[in-house]
A and B are shown apart, each in its own frame.
Chain A
Amino acid sequence: NAGVTQTPKFQVLKTGQSMTLQCAQDMNHEYMSWYRQDPGMGLRLIHYSVGAGITDQGEVPNGYNVSRSTTEDFPLRLLSAAPSQTSVYFCASSYSTGVDTQYFGPGTRLTVL
Protein backbone atom coordinates (compact mmCIF):
# COMPACT_ATOMS: atom_id res chain seq x y z
CA ASN A 1 0.00 0.00 0.00
CA ALA A 2 1.20 3.51 -0.80
CA GLY A 3 -0.92 4.92 2.04
CA VAL A 4 -1.93 8.56 1.61
CA THR A 5 -0.27 10.37 -1.27
CA GLN A 6 -0.34 14.08 -2.04
CA THR A 7 0.74 16.04 -5.08
CA PRO A 8 2.40 18.37 -5.65
CA LYS A 9 4.92 18.52 -2.81
CA PHE A 10 5.63 22.21 -3.40
CA GLN A 11 3.68 24.89 -5.28
CA VAL A 12 4.04 28.62 -5.79
CA LEU A 13 1.03 30.59 -7.01
CA LYS A 14 0.29 34.18 -7.77
CA THR A 15 -2.63 35.89 -6.10
CA GLY A 16 -5.84 35.08 -7.95
CA GLN A 17 -4.64 31.87 -9.55
CA SER A 18 -6.54 28.66 -9.01
CA MET A 19 -5.21 25.19 -8.49
CA THR A 20 -6.08 21.75 -7.16
CA LEU A 21 -4.16 19.86 -4.51
CA GLN A 22 -4.46 16.15 -5.07
CA CYS A 23 -4.92 13.53 -2.37
CA ALA A 24 -5.36 9.81 -2.83
CA GLN A 25 -5.41 6.80 -0.54
CA ASP A 26 -5.37 3.10 -1.36
CA MET A 27 -6.55 1.76 1.99
CA ASN A 28 -10.29 1.83 1.19
CA HIS A 29 -10.83 4.41 3.89
CA GLU A 30 -14.21 6.05 4.11
CA TYR A 31 -13.13 9.17 5.97
CA MET A 32 -10.83 11.74 4.37
CA SER A 33 -9.97 15.27 5.41
CA TRP A 34 -7.87 18.29 4.61
CA TYR A 35 -5.96 20.32 7.16
CA ARG A 36 -3.75 23.35 6.96
CA GLN A 37 -0.79 23.89 9.27
CA ASP A 38 0.52 27.37 9.97
CA PRO A 39 3.41 28.49 12.19
CA GLY A 40 2.41 28.73 15.83
CA MET A 41 -0.96 27.09 15.24
CA GLY A 42 -2.23 23.59 15.39
CA LEU A 43 -3.63 21.76 12.42
CA ARG A 44 -6.95 23.26 11.37
CA LEU A 45 -9.61 21.31 9.55
CA ILE A 46 -10.66 22.73 6.18
CA HIS A 47 -13.10 20.16 4.75
CA TYR A 48 -13.83 16.53 5.35
CA SER A 49 -15.71 13.65 3.80
CA VAL A 50 -17.28 10.61 5.45
CA GLY A 51 -17.69 8.76 2.16
CA ALA A 52 -17.96 9.12 -1.59
CA GLY A 53 -20.42 11.82 -2.52
CA ILE A 54 -20.47 13.36 0.98
CA THR A 55 -18.46 16.39 2.05
CA ASP A 56 -18.74 18.88 4.87
CA GLN A 57 -17.03 22.01 6.10
CA GLY A 58 -14.46 22.10 8.84
CA GLU A 59 -13.15 25.01 10.86
CA VAL A 60 -11.64 27.09 8.02
CA PRO A 61 -13.48 26.26 4.75
CA ASN A 62 -13.57 29.70 3.10
CA GLY A 63 -11.68 29.89 -0.18
CA TYR A 64 -11.58 26.12 -0.64
CA ASN A 65 -13.78 23.59 -2.41
CA VAL A 66 -13.74 19.82 -2.26
CA SER A 67 -15.46 16.92 -3.93
CA ARG A 68 -15.44 13.18 -3.33
CA SER A 69 -16.46 11.35 -6.47
CA THR A 70 -14.55 8.19 -5.52
CA THR A 71 -13.51 6.58 -2.26
CA GLU A 72 -9.84 6.93 -3.19
CA ASP A 73 -9.56 10.60 -4.15
CA PHE A 74 -10.28 13.83 -2.30
CA PRO A 75 -8.96 16.88 -4.17
CA LEU A 76 -8.83 20.33 -2.60
CA ARG A 77 -9.43 23.28 -4.91
CA LEU A 78 -8.30 26.82 -4.33
CA LEU A 79 -10.60 28.98 -6.38
CA SER A 80 -8.67 32.28 -6.25
CA ALA A 81 -5.48 32.01 -4.24
CA ALA A 82 -4.69 34.62 -1.61
CA PRO A 83 -1.48 35.18 0.39
CA SER A 84 -3.40 34.13 3.52
CA GLN A 85 -3.59 30.65 2.02
CA THR A 86 0.16 30.26 2.18
CA SER A 87 0.49 27.19 4.36
CA VAL A 88 1.32 23.52 4.48
CA TYR A 89 -1.63 21.35 3.58
CA PHE A 90 -2.13 17.83 4.84
CA CYS A 91 -4.60 15.25 3.71
CA ALA A 92 -5.61 12.48 6.10
CA SER A 93 -7.72 9.36 5.94
CA SER A 94 -9.12 6.76 8.30
CA TYR A 95 -11.38 3.75 8.03
CA SER A 96 -14.11 5.53 9.93
CA THR A 97 -14.68 8.57 12.11
CA GLY A 98 -14.75 6.47 15.21
CA VAL A 99 -11.75 5.74 17.37
CA ASP A 100 -9.60 4.87 14.41
CA THR A 101 -6.09 5.84 13.43
CA GLN A 102 -5.85 8.72 10.98
CA TYR A 103 -3.10 8.42 8.41
CA PHE A 104 -1.61 11.63 7.11
CA GLY A 105 -0.02 12.33 3.77
CA PRO A 106 3.41 13.98 3.43
CA GLY A 107 1.96 17.45 2.86
CA THR A 108 1.96 20.12 0.17
CA ARG A 109 3.81 23.36 0.87
CA LEU A 110 1.93 26.18 -0.87
CA THR A 111 3.19 29.72 -1.24
CA VAL A 112 0.93 32.44 -2.63
CA LEU A 113 2.70 35.58 -3.75
Chain B
Amino acid sequence: GESVGLHLPTLSVQEGDNSIINCAYSNSASDYFIWYKQESGKGPQFIIDIRSNMDKRQGQRVTVLLNKTVKHLSLQIAATQPGDSAVYFCAESSRSYNTDKLIFGTGTRLQVFP
Protein backbone atom coordinates (compact mmCIF):
# COMPACT_ATOMS: atom_id res chain seq x y z
CA GLY B 1 0.00 0.00 0.00
CA GLU B 2 1.12 3.43 -0.86
CA SER B 3 1.65 5.69 2.06
CA VAL B 4 1.88 9.17 0.59
CA GLY B 5 -0.48 11.61 -1.01
CA LEU B 6 -2.03 11.39 -4.41
CA HIS B 7 -1.09 14.94 -5.39
CA LEU B 8 2.61 15.05 -4.74
CA PRO B 9 4.79 17.01 -7.15
CA THR B 10 6.24 14.55 -9.61
CA LEU B 11 9.58 14.51 -11.38
CA SER B 12 9.78 12.25 -14.42
CA VAL B 13 13.21 11.39 -15.79
CA GLN B 14 14.65 8.96 -18.26
CA GLU B 15 16.89 6.19 -17.06
CA GLY B 16 20.49 7.34 -17.10
CA ASP B 17 19.69 11.03 -16.72
CA ASN B 18 20.48 13.02 -13.61
CA SER B 19 17.67 13.95 -11.23
CA ILE B 20 17.39 17.02 -9.03
CA ILE B 21 14.83 17.11 -6.26
CA ASN B 22 14.30 20.31 -4.34
CA CYS B 23 13.19 21.16 -0.84
CA ALA B 24 12.53 24.56 0.69
CA TYR B 25 12.63 25.05 4.42
CA SER B 26 11.38 27.97 6.47
CA ASN B 27 13.27 27.83 9.75
CA SER B 28 16.52 29.74 9.50
CA ALA B 29 17.60 28.09 12.75
CA SER B 30 17.54 24.61 11.20
CA ASP B 31 21.01 23.15 11.46
CA TYR B 32 20.69 19.59 10.24
CA PHE B 33 18.95 18.15 7.19
CA ILE B 34 18.22 14.65 6.00
CA TRP B 35 16.96 13.20 2.74
CA TYR B 36 14.78 10.09 2.83
CA LYS B 37 13.56 7.73 0.13
CA GLN B 38 10.22 5.99 0.51
CA GLU B 39 9.22 3.21 -1.82
CA SER B 40 5.60 2.22 -2.15
CA GLY B 41 4.38 0.27 0.86
CA LYS B 42 7.60 0.73 2.81
CA GLY B 43 8.95 2.95 5.51
CA PRO B 44 11.29 5.87 4.80
CA GLN B 45 14.92 5.01 4.25
CA PHE B 46 17.85 7.32 5.06
CA ILE B 47 19.78 8.48 2.00
CA ILE B 48 22.11 11.27 3.03
CA ASP B 49 22.38 14.07 5.53
CA ILE B 50 24.10 17.42 5.83
CA ARG B 51 24.88 19.81 8.65
CA SER B 52 24.42 23.54 8.32
CA ASN B 53 28.15 24.18 8.46
CA MET B 54 28.47 22.51 5.06
CA ASP B 55 27.04 23.45 1.67
CA LYS B 56 27.65 20.19 -0.14
CA ARG B 57 27.96 16.54 0.71
CA GLN B 58 28.39 13.58 -1.60
CA GLY B 59 27.44 9.96 -1.26
CA GLN B 60 27.22 7.11 -3.67
CA ARG B 61 25.47 8.57 -6.75
CA VAL B 62 23.81 11.21 -4.57
CA THR B 63 24.79 14.77 -3.69
CA VAL B 64 23.03 17.11 -1.32
CA LEU B 65 23.40 20.87 -1.72
CA LEU B 66 22.44 23.33 0.97
CA ASN B 67 21.86 27.02 0.33
CA LYS B 68 21.22 28.66 3.67
CA THR B 69 20.81 32.12 2.16
CA VAL B 70 17.59 31.12 0.40
CA LYS B 71 16.77 28.21 2.74
CA HIS B 72 16.92 25.64 -0.03
CA LEU B 73 18.06 22.07 -0.12
CA SER B 74 18.47 19.84 -3.15
CA LEU B 75 19.16 16.18 -3.77
CA GLN B 76 20.97 15.24 -6.94
CA ILE B 77 20.88 11.65 -8.16
CA ALA B 78 23.38 10.77 -10.85
CA ALA B 79 22.57 8.26 -13.60
CA THR B 80 19.06 7.66 -12.34
CA GLN B 81 17.96 4.04 -12.35
CA PRO B 82 14.48 2.43 -12.27
CA GLY B 83 15.16 1.39 -8.69
CA ASP B 84 15.35 5.06 -7.77
CA SER B 85 11.61 5.45 -8.42
CA ALA B 86 10.12 6.45 -5.07
CA VAL B 87 8.97 9.44 -3.04
CA TYR B 88 11.80 11.56 -1.71
CA PHE B 89 11.43 14.00 1.15
CA CYS B 90 13.63 16.12 3.29
CA ALA B 91 13.60 16.55 7.03
CA GLU B 92 15.09 19.32 9.13
CA SER B 93 16.08 19.82 12.72
CA SER B 94 16.78 23.02 14.62
CA ARG B 95 17.86 21.32 17.81
CA SER B 96 21.64 21.47 17.63
CA TYR B 97 21.94 18.39 15.46
CA ASN B 98 19.45 16.43 17.54
CA THR B 99 17.01 14.27 15.63
CA ASP B 100 14.36 13.83 18.31
CA LYS B 101 11.92 16.26 16.69
CA LEU B 102 12.47 16.28 12.97
CA ILE B 103 10.18 18.30 10.71
CA PHE B 104 9.40 16.47 7.49
CA GLY B 105 8.49 17.87 4.10
CA THR B 106 5.65 16.46 2.03
CA GLY B 107 7.79 14.86 -0.61
CA THR B 108 8.39 14.63 -4.36
CA ARG B 109 7.60 11.56 -6.42
CA LEU B 110 10.40 10.49 -8.77
CA GLN B 111 9.37 8.39 -11.77
CA VAL B 112 12.08 6.83 -13.89
CA PHE B 113 11.25 5.75 -17.42
CA PRO B 114 13.35 3.27 -19.46
Contact = CB atoms under 8 A, between A and B. Distances in A.
Interface residues of A, number: 34
Interface stretch (A12-20, A36-44, A68-76): A36-44
A35 B5 CA distance: 16
A88 B3 contact: yes
A41 B106 CA distance: 5
Q: Which range holds the interface residue count of chain B?
A: 20 to 34
A107 B106 CA distance: 17
B59 to A, nearest CB: 12
Interface of A: 4, 10, 31, 33, 35, 37-45, 48, 50, 58-59, 88, 90, 92, 94, 97-107, 109
21 contacts: A33-B100, A39-B4, A39-B5, A40-B8, A41-B106, A42-B104, A42-B105, A42-B106, A43-B104, A50-B100, A90-B44, A92-B43, A94-B99, A99-B32, A99-B49, A101-B46, A102-B46, A102-B102, A103-B46, A104-B45, A109-B3
